[in-house]
A and B are shown apart, each in its own frame.
Chain A
């Protein structure tokens, strides 16, 4: 059974960074690209970017290029997103989601709530 297990809620101070994990199981981690999606409170969904765990290649939406860094550890089948220079705009739930051959996102993690607060 495919599962994407994300880490727990995070609280970050303005200006600091947080790193969220997404541990994959039930499939070959390097066979699928991993995407990240943001959902601000009460808002819709926003694509952040993707990482190919096999090659480490990445692509980002323009607005997240200076905000998010995507990495992957193939030894632990875990994808990560680091959010830097936190502001109140970064308070949101962040989802990881598996990409099926570039056609769609079929499996999603449970989401991680990041709260930026002093």
Chain B
């Protein structure tokens, strides 16, 4: 199985500042078709996961452009600009290259 490793475990951010979350996969997520199967989700407290970004950097419909994704191969980053209180929750990276799909262990974002 592909292992997904996220860091940090948690991050505390002052509103208006930025935050970055890293995700590393144990295998390249680049398929021979040119697509990299890496997505990011936010799970707010007591809610379902919400898709933020897919294919490394594509913003999901309705998601604020304060969220951005970058990276390639095995190393990926989610950046949240101008953090707001509504950004509180746990962020997960996920690989969809092959089954079983696997999730990172999550990064908890808190507001200072």
* A contacts, CB < 8 Å to B: 35, 37, 44-47, 50, 59, 61-62, 95, 97, 100, 102-111
Contact = CB atoms under 8 A, between A and B. Distances in A.
Contacts, number: 57
Contacts of A109: 48
Contacts of A62: 100
Contacts of B92: 44-45
Query: Contact size class for B?
Result: 20 to 34
Contacts of B49: 37, 45, 95, 97, 105, 108
Nearest to B97: A102
Given A44-B106, A45-B92, A61 B48 contact: no
B interface SS class: loop
Q: Determine which residue in A45, A46, A100, A102 has the highest number of CB atoms from chain B within 10 A of its CB, and name it.
A: A45
B35 A103 contact: yes
Contact of B103 (A44, A102, A104): A44
A107 B104 CA distance: 19
Contact of B96 (A44, A102, A111): A102
B103 A46 contact: yes
A62 B102 CA distance: 12
A109 B105 CA distance: 21
A110 B103 contact: no
B51 A104 contact: yes
